Chains A and B, each alone.
Chain A
Amino acid sequence: MENIRIENLTFSYPTSKDKKSLDNVSLKTDKGEYIVLCGKSGSGKTTLLRHLKTVLTPHGERTGEIYFNGSALKDVDSREQSAKIGFVMQNPDDQIVTDKVWDELAFGLESLGCDRKTMRSRVAEMACYFGIQDWFHRDVAALSGGQKQLLNLASIMAMQPEVLILDEPTSQLDPIAASDFLNTVRKINTELGTTVIITEHRLEDIFPYADRAIVMDSGKIIADDKPAKIGRLLYEQNNPMFAAMPTPVRVFYNAGSRGSCPLTVRDGRAWLDKELDAEPKIKEIPCKNIDDKAENPALSLKELWFRYEKNTPDILRGVSLEIPSGSIFAIVGGNGAGKSTMLKAICGICKPYRGKIKVFGKSSDKFKSGELFRNCVSMLPQDPKSLFVKKTVREELEEMTRDKNKISEIAETCQIAELFDSHPYDLSGGEQQKTALAKVLLTEPKILLLDEPTKGMDSFFKETFAAILNNLKSQGITILMVSHDVEFCAKYADRVSMFFDGQVLTTDTPQNFFGGNSFYTTSANRMSRHIFTNAVTAENVVELYCKNKGETV
């Protein structure tokens, strides 16, 4: 049965009249469908989703019509829309209104004027279904990001909506919380039959389960089909969106296969089994082993111990690490393991109570105030917004230096020259990240620290960002990043370390590191580890696959 129907929707924002944000979009959803909407950032996904709810619809010029259950959406009264169409946004924090979990759960019901008895049972129901009962009485401030987003979802589900719209709900979450959240969304769809429309960067977790995938590019729908078919379409069109497809899909098509495409790691393994012998001739990507001792390390940490307060447990429990100069060094590890704290310790924001930090062989205490940050160490924070203090990007950069040449040079490196007159808050997430990076680079650091640099980035932008990092590396800058993003680290880092229990454990090349892990590793590795020993990226798998095929054929 038809649920939402969009007919020839065209829309442009008042600020950019000549550019259509939505261009003749037509779309139909049936009740109970699970639809994933993908596309580059700035392709109009959010604009489209916001049109599905009158109160959120942006201002601008619009033609075309939207129908909800057969009647024009603008004629459906706002009370009914509030209850029947749920909308989850990106930022978990700002969506929350009240200070207690139970209060927030009831917010929608309170607005609709439910009586206390109904509310009590609905809230109880929701708390049980979403597993919230353990933190039902907590303050919202005490929740983790994943819990906050789950609370936002539960609070909307309490109104029993027919359609659930999610706009990049997991972009601010770590991978474990993100996949928990997406599983809950899937559960809602399968168990309650709620129609789900979701935009997401992390397609690996959604693609296999979605009924339909819709691809958007500059305001147009360029593909609308079953997920299994979308991959082929994008591959044949040589669309950059192909890079965002799940690993098995990319390997499948890049290896030149045709036919029914595997979507999950499980199917990918089966496909490899079918195609290759159990013991293929070439099992390894050639890679050199690294020697443990780096000569003249750019940065060395020795036995750092740190805790935030006297009576709290230690966060850093003897961190030792040596970063060779001129490399990209990645540290991966779970949430709250202390990775960010370690970066703060290097910057002197946290003072370890034991241990030594040496920057280019010089103990960090011996740097005079501010000297450490002059041409030496600089950190790109997790939230680029926290760096912005001025009204335009130009002023932002001028805060760091007066040297015009240097500014334009850095702007060139970071590809932000055309953004100079925009307000930093008006930029997209990726552009903000680039601007923040430019600002940080203006201190001319020799060591660049990155805290979760890929959070919220789409897969194209990750490639651009990686190119910038490689460029910096070739200029001799040492880069240390901490990240959840194993795929990114596997692809671009020179060395990877595991952070666990307040310590840095093994350090190795990405091939050896992820090749040796069986759970905490990339999906390319999980897909191929039964055949290849150290293929950790989709490119690695394709390379080995082709080599083997080339010989056998």
Chain B
Amino acid sequence: MKQDAFSKLHPAVNLLFFIGAICLGVLLQHPVYLLAGIFASGAYYLLLNGRKAIKNILLMIPLFMFITLFNPIVNTRGVTVLFTYFDRPYTLEALVYGVAVAATFVLMLLWFGCYGKVLTGDKFTCLFGNLAPSLSLLLVMVFRMIPNLLQKAKQIIGVRSSIGKGTSEKSSLKDKLQSGMTVIGVLTSWALEGSITTSDSMRSRGYGTSKRTSFTVYRVTKFDLVLTAVMLVLLGAVIGFAANGGMNAEFLPERNITPIKGVNIIGFIAYFVYLMIPTLLQITEVIQWKISESKI
């Protein structure tokens, strides 16, 4: 599979980026910042997943609406009452706060979606392999097991239906449950059986004979270092401005949102540029490629 420019960097750079993006995303409730976050994460999510992303993003809209509209029902604080029901007020402030909460939620979904694509299991082991080699190996094995079991389950269901033991839409719930239980039972014994071979194979390759080291195919390049420096500077700027109250936003009981003007614009730009790093890298790579192609 072809990787995008950011995924090709050292896993530590990837991890630093996501820690920054996710922490700031949770902390900064300012509407403009949330909007910038959703834009940047959405752009990168699209870039990573292509066509499939559109469907997923569309699915987030009803979720967003639901959280927004639901918030005033549980939260009745706020000064501007829109209407009352069962003697409970439904306030504008709580509704706006709902928008912010929903936006944060969607933002997290998008960032974690990107995280899953970029920081694959092997990158994770590369980062933590030397700290806790056995733990990271365990995680890798668990991650491998899940798709394996799903595939086996599919195989068993197919085999059972080819001897007339399958279920169809018309089968009763009891039959369906029973056949589901059977499949799970088979999977368990299958997994146990397989794990004996796996453990033999591990021990015969010296597992547990000495202190484990960890191999990785990733190397730190000069570009990784430069980009890390840039990211740290941008992060520092954002945190600095945030600490000075340049990004404050309060919703309850009254809306009090700091306007972005004057020197605070720098903070916003720093935040936005930081979030756009992965997307910008990919765009630069494509443009560079086009230029070198046109020279041929």
**Among A114-122, A251-259, A275-283, the stretch in contact with B:** A114-122
**Among B53-61, B143-151, B255-263, the stretch in contact with A:** B143-151
Q: With A and B bound together, what is the CA distance between A16 and B216 in angstroms?
A: 47
User: Could you tell me which residues of chain B, from 102 to 154, have a CB within 8 Å of some CB in chain A?
Assistant: 121-122, 125, 133, 137, 140-141, 143-144, 147-148, 152
Given A87-B204, A89-B197, A123-B215: A113 and B210 within 8 A (CB)? yes
Total residues of chain A contacting the partner, CB 8 A: 68
Contact assessment for B209 and A111 in the assembled complex, using a CB-CB cutoff below 8 Å: yes
Tell me the nearest residue of chain B to A138, going by C-beta. B1
Contact assessment for B206 and A83 in the assembled complex, using a CB-CB cutoff below 8 Å: yes
User: Could you tell me which residues of chain B, from 151 to 197, have a CB within 8 Å of some CB in chain A?
Assistant: 152, 155-156, 158-166, 168, 170, 182, 185-186, 189-190, 193-195, 197
Chain A residues whose CB sits within 8 angstroms of the CB of B205 once the complex forms: 82, 107-108, 111, 155-156, 159
User: Could you tell me which residues of chain A, from 382 to 397, have a CB within 8 Å of some CB in chain B?
Assistant: 383, 385-389
B250 at the interface (CB under 8 A from A): no
Q: With A and B bound together, what is the CA distance between A369 and B209 in angstroms?
A: 56
Chain A residues whose CB sits within 8 angstroms of the CB of B158 once the complex forms: 344, 349
Contact assessment for A110 and B159 in the assembled complex, using a CB-CB cutoff below 8 Å: no
Contact assessment for B206 and A82 in the assembled complex, using a CB-CB cutoff below 8 Å: yes
Contact assessment for A53 and B204 in the assembled complex, using a CB-CB cutoff below 8 Å: yes
Contact assessment for A82 and B159 in the assembled complex, using a CB-CB cutoff below 8 Å: no
A370 at the interface (CB under 8 A from B): yes
Chain B residues whose CB sits within 8 angstroms of the CB of A389 once the complex forms: 182, 185-186
Contact assessment for B213 and A379 in the assembled complex, using a CB-CB cutoff below 8 Å: no
B66 at the interface (CB under 8 A from A): no
A381 at the interface (CB under 8 A from B): yes
Total residues of chain B contacting the partner, CB 8 A: 53
Contact assessment for B121 and A381 in the assembled complex, using a CB-CB cutoff below 8 Å: no
B88 at the interface (CB under 8 A from A): no
Q: With A and B bound together, what is the CA distance between A367 and B190 in angstroms?
A: 33
B201 at the interface (CB under 8 A from A): yes
B217 at the interface (CB under 8 A from A): yes
Q: With A and B bound together, what is the CA distance between A53 and B170 in angstroms?
A: 54
Contact assessment for B198 and A387 in the assembled complex, using a CB-CB cutoff below 8 Å: no
Q: With A and B bound together, what is the CA distance between A348 and B217 in angstroms?
A: 45
Q: With A and B bound together, what is the CA distance between A120 and B156 in angstroms?
A: 40
Contact assessment for A110 and B140 in the assembled complex, using a CB-CB cutoff below 8 Å: no
Q: How far is the CB of B270 from chain A (nearest CB, A)?
A: 35
Q: How far is the CB of B278 from chain A (nearest CB, A)?
A: 20
Contact assessment for A97 and B198 in the assembled complex, using a CB-CB cutoff below 8 Å: yes
Contact assessment for B201 and A89 in the assembled complex, using a CB-CB cutoff below 8 Å: yes
User: Could you tell me which residues of chain B, from 19 to 75, have a CB within 8 Å of some CB in chain A?
Assistant: none
Chain B residues whose CB sits within 8 angstroms of the CB of A159 once the complex forms: 205-206
Most chain A CB atoms below 10 A, which of B140, B161, B194, B206? B206
Chain B residues whose CB sits within 8 angstroms of the CB of A106 once the complex forms: 215
Q: With A and B bound together, what is the CA distance between A195 and B147 in angstroms?
A: 37
Contact assessment for B162 and A344 in the assembled complex, using a CB-CB cutoff below 8 Å: yes
Residue of B185, B189, B190, B203 near A55 (CB, 8 A) is: B203
Cβ proximity bits A357-387 to B, threshold 8 Å, 1 near / 0 not: 0000000000001101110001101010111
Most chain B CB atoms below 10 A, which of A93, A99, A109? A99
Residue of B161, B190, B216 near A349 (CB, 8 A) is: B161
Contact assessment for B210 and A141 in the assembled complex, using a CB-CB cutoff below 8 Å: no
B266 at the interface (CB under 8 A from A): no
Tell me the nearest residue of chain A to B197, going by C-beta. A94
A548 at the interface (CB under 8 A from B): no
Given A83-B206, A110-B133, A369-B170: A141 and B147 within 8 A (CB)? yes
User: Could you tell me which residues of chain B, from 213 to 235, have a CB within 8 Å of some CB in chain A?
Assistant: 213-217
Chain B residues whose CB sits within 8 angstroms of the CB of A152 once the complex forms: 201
User: Could you tell me which residues of chain A, from 421 to 475, have a CB within 8 Å of some CB in chain B?
Assistant: 425, 439-440, 443, 449
Q: With A and B bound together, what is the CA distance between A369 and B165 in angstroms?
A: 11
Residues on A lying within 8 angstroms of B by beta carbon are 53, 55-56, 77-79, 82-83, 86-87, 89, 91, 93-100, 102-103, 106-116, 119-120, 123, 137, 140-141, 152, 155-156, 159, 344, 347-349, 369-370, 372-374, 378-379, 381, 383, 385-389, 399-400, 425, 439-440, 443, 449
- Besides A79-B210, A94-B197, 11 other CB < 8 A contacts? A53-B204, A56-B204, A98-B140, A102-B217, A111-B209, A141-B148, A159-B205, A159-B206, A369-B170, A370-B168, A378-B163
**What are the 5 A-B residue pairs with the smallest beta carbon separation, nearest first?**
A373-B164, A82-B206, A106-B215, A94-B197, A108-B205
Residues on B lying within 8 angstroms of A by beta carbon are 121-122, 125, 133, 137, 140-141, 143-144, 147-148, 152, 155-156, 158-166, 168, 170, 182, 185-186, 189-190, 193-195, 197-198, 200-217
6 residue pairs A–B, Cβ–Cβ below 8 Å? A56-B203, A94-B195, A111-B207, A111-B209, A370-B164, A386-B155
